[in-house]
Structure formats: C-alpha cells, structure tokens
Structure 1
Amino acid sequence: MPSKNIEEALLAGQASVLKPLAEASTLPPEFYTSSGIFEAEMERVMRRNWYSVGHVAEIPNPGDYFRFDLAGEPLVIVRGRDGAVRALSAVCRHRWMMVAEGAGNAGTFSCPYHKWTYALDGSLMAAPLMDKAADFDRKNCSLPNFGCEVWQGIIFVNLDGKAAPLAPQLQPLAEELAPWKMDEMEIVGRVEFDQAFNWKTLVDNFMEAYHHFAIHPETFERDYPGADTSVDTAAGAYAVLRIPHRGDELSATLFPPLDGIPDKARRGFSVFNVFPAHIFAVLADSLIYYRMELKSVEEFKLTAYLLVHPKSLDVPDAEVLKDIFRQATFAIHMEDIAACEGTQKGLRSRTAGPARLSHLEAAIHQHQIWLLDQLARG
C-alpha cells in the first residue's frame, strides 16, 4: 500500500476496532498484508516504544554479546566491563560495515573492513591511518548507544530515546511476578522458527485461548478449556489473559515451583503481551518468552526462550525434563503455525474483511486499540 494511503487505512481501522468489544471487529486485513502499513509500524511504533530483544542470561559475563535487528537498526547487545547491559549500533562509524555478527564474547569490537576498534561501551579506541584527516576526533565517532532497560530479566531497547522509563509502567506486573524471581531464571532451551506470516497474526493467536478446542484438542483444551478463560480489564500498555485449569485443579508441572508461588497461579497459567510485542506465558514452574525479529510484513524470526529458576532445576532428572520442555514447546507451536499460516493465506483474499471478535478475544481488542493510537500519532 502506498504511504499516501496510510491515513485512509487508519480511518478504516478505527471504524472497525474503536467500539465496545461486543460490537467491535478486528483491524482490516490490509494491516496484516500491506508493506506500507508495516513500514509505518516500524517507524511509529517499534522505534518509539520499548521492544524486547533477548534475555540477560544470554550475556552473563563482561564482553558477552549478541546481534539483533530492530526496525531496520542493526544492534549489538553487550554486557560491558562495568556489568551494564547496553544496546549499541552494530554499524561502524567509518564505512558502515557491521562490527559484530552472531553472538560471542569480545574484549573490543573491531570492524573487519578497516579495523576501526571500539570499546564495549561504544567509544572509538583506534582508527588506523586517519592521522591526515583534518580535525578528526575519535570522541565524535563512538557507536551510537540506544536506550536499554532490563525488566524481569528481559532486555528492552528504545531506539528514539524518547520513551518513558519502562519499569514504572509495568509496576503492577512486576508485583504479580515477583515470586517467580524471573531475573534469576536460566535459559534451559531455545526453539527457533522462520515464520512466513505477519507478526500480529502470531500475537493475536498467542493472546486468545478461544482456539484451544480446535487447534490444541489434546495439548491444551483437555486441561485448559478456552471457554473458561478471561482477560483482565485494560490497566496500561499491556494485556493479560488468564487460563485456569479445568475444575480449578492444580496444574501438572515438570519442575518443582518455587516457594511463594501463589496457589491460584498453580491452578492454571497466565499469558501477557507488553505492547507492542513482548509476549510471554508464565506457568507455575517456568516461563516461555517469544522474541520476534521482524523482517518484513509477512516474515520474522521467532525464538522461543524456555526459562526456569535454578532452584527448580535442582532435581535428579533435570536434563530429561528440559528436553521434554523443548519438545512440548515445539509441538504446541507447530500446531499454532498451521493456524497462523492458514490465517495469513486467508488475509490475502479479496473476500476477507474485518472479523467480529468473541468475548474471549478481549486481549486482541486491547492491543489493537493501543496500536491504532500509536499509528495515529504520525
């Protein structure tokens, strides 16, 4: 869709979404298929808000780093010698080569093109053969340092530097999640997928359990009926879906839950979306966090992080349980992939239009209201 039509699309989206839930429909299909709208989301939403890029357990030691591309911005996430986590530009200040790729540990970042070398805080340490460049000052050639905040062990980045601090916005969630001690959790597995559908298709699917009886009849619906789920009243830039166990029974767990996990939390699990796209599920004994590295309107890389507290891993068969956790996560997501791919195919149809929402899809409604507000800020 040409950029000149973005505002027209916003009006159509507002007409569909901005109603009470019982009367509302979803965003129109073009919000899932238009490259123009995707570009607007990158500029107006992803660059302006806090976006989750990984977990602190990936970079426990000074010099540990990993690469991540956010809204077209190549980043290197690194733990400095001072222990601070930073989000630096991965682009050399000389001729734009990447100073790092993949993940690893480094004492410095040295550009492979002309060997400009940067410290872990981004400051330029060496620029070979630049002595004849007039008024060249290394202090003016540091790698840009973007806004970075760690919340519940998750690393968030803000590209434009104007977002309000994240933690105060999420204080109610932090209080609820405190018994899990998430900032101490370990990564016990990662499952990666290259996804061929819009990022919102996944978020919509993740934030409703209405589909349990159709897509997950054996893996979820038997113990966690979609009809019994509820969504918290909107209280901020996030949505919360509650999924109780059938009959209010205790949920089976792979690992022993920490002392202090509330009894109610052991009789089901909760799913969260910190807008725009930090989606995660909190079980009595573990956490599943979905990180999305967005590439285009119908393409992103998904990494599912499986996290458990070290105390819960102090069991004889921990490695076997970790493998079961990975296999179960993979199997469930494969069921969801079938739904998401089928949905994306249908979204491209000329017969597709805004879809009416069930009362079980309130979290989708909350997210789309917020997203439209962000996009309308231009």
Structure 2
Amino acid sequence: MERVQQIGDVAEIMLGYVEQGKTHQGAGPRTVPTASYVDKDQFKAEIELVFKRVPLMLAFTAELPNPGDYKAMDAVGLPVLINRDKAGQVHAFLNVCSHRGAPVAEGKGNCARFTCKYHAWTYGTDGRLIGIAEPSTFGEMDKAQLGLRALPCEERAGMIFVCLTPHAPLELDRHFRGFLEDFEALDFADWTYLGNRTIEGANWKIAFDGYLEGYHFKSLHPETIYPRTPSNTTHYEGFGPNMRIGFPQHSIADQLRTVPREAWGTRENYGYDFVRIFFPNVSIFIAPEITQVAQLFPGPTPDRNRTVLNYLRRHPIRDDADREAVEAAMNFFRDVTYQEDYVIGLQIQKGLESGAHDNLVFGRNERGNQFFHEWLNWYLEDDPSQPEPVM
C-alpha cells in the first residue's frame, strides 16, 4: 500500500479511538517473568543472541557527513569505530589496534588516518594497516593481515547500521520489512545532527518498555505529554520486529477535518504523532522543532542501561541564539526523559529485585510491549524455524 494512504488509514483509526474512547487491543493480557529483568544468564543471552546479531542503528549520516569524519563509541561493551573514507564510503571496525589492543581513535573528529597513541601504528580510513613505527627494529610483518577488524556496516535512509559480529550477515531489508521507507520519505539523510545527551537507568528492558505504550501518560506525565496526547489511546503496526506506534493528539478531530481525507497521511505532528521503534533498542520521536532518537544499550550489569539521546532537525543551526535555544531544548527533553521515566524505572528495578511478584502483566492495551517481548523471546530461542510473532 502506498505510504501516505497507509498512514492516512492509521490516522482515521486513531481518530476513531479518540471519538469512541478506544485503543488498539491484543488478544488478552500476557505475563513476563520478573526474573527476565534481573537474571544474569538471560542478560548474557540477550547480548549474544540479540545485540550481537541484529542490525543496530549506531550513527546518523548527519553525524558523519564528510570524507574523513569518524565516531568512536562503546556499543554493548565493545569499542566501535565508525568512519567515512576519502571516497565517502562508510565503514565500521572494532576500535582495537592489531599490535597490542589499544584504541586507534577517541571521540569524534575528522582525519586522513588513525594512529594508535600507544606505539603509533597507523591505519587508513579503509582499515588497512599502513604504517608500523620503527619497522627496522620491529621485524618483518605482513601488514595486509593486520588491518582493523571490520564489522558489517551499511548506510541507509540517513542512518548507519552495524552488526557487532564480524562477517555476520547484515540483512536490513529482512529486518526492517519496508520500514526504512518512512525515513527515506522524510529525507532523513539531509537533516542536521544537533548533539546528544547520555542518561543511565535500570535494566534496558524496563526503560524500553516505557517507550512502547501511552497507558501511563496521564498519571506519569500530567504536565508534559498528557496535555497534548491522551492516555491509553495508541495504535500499533509491526514491520518484522520493529514498530510504528501511533499516538493521536487531543486535537486530532479539529486538525484532520480541516484538510481533505486524502491528505490525512501527510499530517504527522498535526493531529497525531508516531514513535518509531527499531528492535531491539531505538525509539524515534520526530517533531517539527526537534527530533529525539533514543539508543538504549545494556549496561555492565543487568540492573543498568546507558541511553544516548540524539537530537536532529531538518534545518541547520542559524546563529548563536538558535544554538542556545537548541541546547535548552535538548536539556529539557533529557530532563523529562530522565526525571519522569528513568527515575521510576530505577524504582521498578528495586521492586523486581525484591521478589515481590513472579511476573509482570502487560494488558490487551499494551500490545506493543507484548510484541516486543514476543520477538525478544523468539531471538533468545535461537531457532529460526519457529514462527515469527505477528502484530
């Protein structure tokens, strides 16, 4: 189905939800063992069978727009280097020198080569080892065999996807099932990267569960989200393990009925909003003023996550006053996310560790949470012959 028509049909469904006091419904409530949020063995399995196998969105085209741009980061405890070579091609490597294991780059920047600060071994932007310090005393080495360890990497729709396992398949079309067309239609590759903020919270799934439903808006966000968006009024679409979650605004009827029905699919942010979910760990909220992209990574232990909140918008910074306003907006969204969602997540972590209950319950109205945990379990079973979950 053509994208605008499909979104217009979803907008009509959400309008009906608001007018009839309804929401998307699953078949029935489902339970998830509380142990899955605290168990060390499951935590290790999630990293090995999920985070190291599926395509992870680790960077944006707008972060690395020029040849020579690079970004060094930690992803699930692994040192990763993402860069754009002199021809404009994106690469990803394990950020580990082949000599003695030190990193070859730190932070972000632009360079023509990477030099390890320990012994000054040097690598090209394509990962090849191009220089060994003082080779006459070091001895003969085959430099062709000592390049940086490459990771599967592909740039698509304004984002850079990486698999954390060398030589593993990176099957973006199979994983996203057409979902990336949304970002191609939004011209996401031409946006401006504004910066990021990092926060820490409870188990990564406790944090991620909060991005997947609007059941809590009135009680937890009475002054920030609820004035715009009604509680418990949500629509879910599945694209493989990924989701587009629709949130109608209180004003959806007034907003949509000012334009022809065939234009309803072009009215995102004007009557309704979407949160786009990339399994297993990315939540994207696109707004005209500023867009927040949350990347959730498991922390060093099961009870912690590290979340990088990235901010983008369609047009570049205009001047110093605009930059100041952008910084204030990023701080505001970070503070709301942490103070209203992550603080209670830490309290939930403590509650689950108490052993008070054997299971958590996700209701029929929390179908997105159910769907996420169904897909997580599918990956943890590690048996592709099993039928995939469906929305």
TM-score by length of 1: 0.84
Identity percentage over the alignment?
Answer: 25
Q: How does 1:214-229 map to 2 (within 5 A)?
A: 214-229=219-234
What is the distance in 1 between the residues matched to 2:35 and 2:122?
45
Q: Which residue of 2 aligns with 1:153?
A: 158
In the TM superposition, what is the alpha-carbon distance from 1:370 to its structure 2 partner? Answer: 0.8
Inter-CA distance 332–261: structure 2 relative to 1 (3 Å threshold): farther
2:192 paired residue among 176, 186, 210: 186
Indicate if the aligned counterparts of 1:50 and 1:163 stay in contact, CA closer than 8 A.
no
Q: What runs of 5+ residues in structure 2 fail to find an aligned partner? A: 1-25, 256-262, 384-391
The reply on whether 1:204 has 2:209 as its aligned counterpart is yes
The reply on whether 1:82 has 2:87 as its aligned counterpart is yes
Indicate if the aligned counterparts of 1:64 and 1:78 stay in contact, CA closer than 8 A.
yes
Q: Which residue of 1 aligns with 2:129?
A: 124
Inter-CA distance 29–131: structure 2 relative to 1 (3 Å threshold): farther
Q: 3-state DSSP class of the match of 1:144?
A: coil
What is the distance in 2 between the residues matched to 1:341 and 1:110?
40
Indicate if the aligned counterparts of 2:92 and 2:153 stay in contact, CA closer than 8 A.
yes
Q: 3-state DSSP class of the match of 2:351?
A: helix
Indicate if the aligned counterparts of 1:21 and 1:365 stay in contact, CA closer than 8 A.
no
The reply on whether 1:351 has 2:356 as its aligned counterpart is yes
Indicate if the aligned counterparts of 1:146 and 1:158 stay in contact, CA closer than 8 A.
yes
Q: How does 1:273-312 map to 2 (within 5 A)?
A: 273-284=277-288, 286-296=290-300, 297-310=302-315
What is the distance in 2 between the residues matched to 1:37 and 1:367?
16
Indicate if the aligned counterparts of 1:225 and 1:245 stay in contact, CA closer than 8 A.
yes
Q: Deviations over 1:13-69 (max 9, x none)?
A: xxxxxxx7414112x122211222211111111111111212222222222211122
Q: What runs of 5+ residues in structure 1 fail to find an aligned partner? A: 1-19, 252-258
What is the distance in 2 between the residues matched to 1:178 and 1:260?
19
What is the distance in 1 between the residues matched to 2:306 and 2:332?
20
The reply on whether 1:96 has 2:101 as its aligned counterpart is yes
Indicate if the aligned counterparts of 1:54 and 1:291 stay in contact, CA closer than 8 A.
no
Indicate if the aligned counterparts of 2:29 and 2:363 stay in contact, CA closer than 8 A.
no
In the TM superposition, what is the alpha-carbon distance from 1:360 to its structure 2 partner? Answer: 2.7
In the TM superposition, what is the alpha-carbon distance from 1:204 to its structure 2 partner? Answer: 0.4
Indicate if the aligned counterparts of 2:274 and 2:286 stay in contact, CA closer than 8 A.
yes
Q: Which residue of 2 aligns with 1:246?
A: 250
In the TM superposition, what is the alpha-carbon distance from 1:130 to its structure 2 partner? Answer: 4.5
1:325 paired residue among 309, 329, 335: 329
Aligned amino acid, residue 186 of structure 2 = W
What is the distance in 1 between the residues matched to 2:205 and 2:169?
22
TM-score by length of 2: 0.81
Aligned amino acid, residue 238 of structure 1 = N
Q: Deviations over 1:334-375 (max 9, x none)?
A: 211222111111111111321221223111111111111111
What is the distance in 2 between the residues matched to 1:324 and 1:111?
36
In the TM superposition, what is the alpha-carbon distance from 1:72 to its structure 2 partner? Answer: 3.1
What is the distance in 1 between the residues matched to 2:265 and 2:130?
48
Inter-CA distance 82–113: structure 2 relative to 1 (3 Å threshold): same
What is the distance in 1 between the residues matched to 2:284 and 2:67?
27
Inter-CA distance 266–174: structure 2 relative to 1 (3 Å threshold): farther
Say which is worse superposed, 265-274 or 162-171, in terms of deviation.
162-171
Inter-CA distance 136–189: structure 2 relative to 1 (3 Å threshold): closer
